[in-house]
Amino acid sequence: MAYELTEHARDSLRKRPNIRTEWIESVLDHPERVSPDKHDPELEHRLGRIQEYDGRVLRVIVKKDTFPSMRRKL
């Protein structure tokens, strides 16, 4: 899947180097749950459990009306 990270997302990943790109892509492609953002109707929260990370939940926030075009900018 192609996607582009915002500057905020890149900063968050720098602070959390243990989060893998393939986990983000997995949650983008196959979320276990999708919820609307409470404050911005253009955003949605995609959540998925990461078994390799002790079953923790990874939340990826996407802008719904844009094609997630990530150019591997991690």
* 14-72 residue pLDDT tens: 999 999 999 999 999 999 999 999 999 999 999 999 999 999 999 999 987 765 544 44
Q: Is residue 72 part of a domain?
A: no
Contact (CB, 8 A) for 68 and 1:
yes
Query: Rounded to whole angstroms, how far apart are CA atoms 21 and 24?
Result: 5
Q: Is residue 48 part of a domain?
A: yes
Contact (CB, 8 A) for 31 and 6:
no
Domain count for the chain = 1
Q: Is residue 27 part of a domain?
A: yes
More confident residue, 49 or 6: 49
Query: Rounded to whole angstroms, how far apart are CA atoms 21 and 25?
Result: 6
- For residue 26, what are the domain limits? 7-63
Q: Is residue 74 part of a domain?
A: no
Q: Is residue 73 part of a domain?
A: no
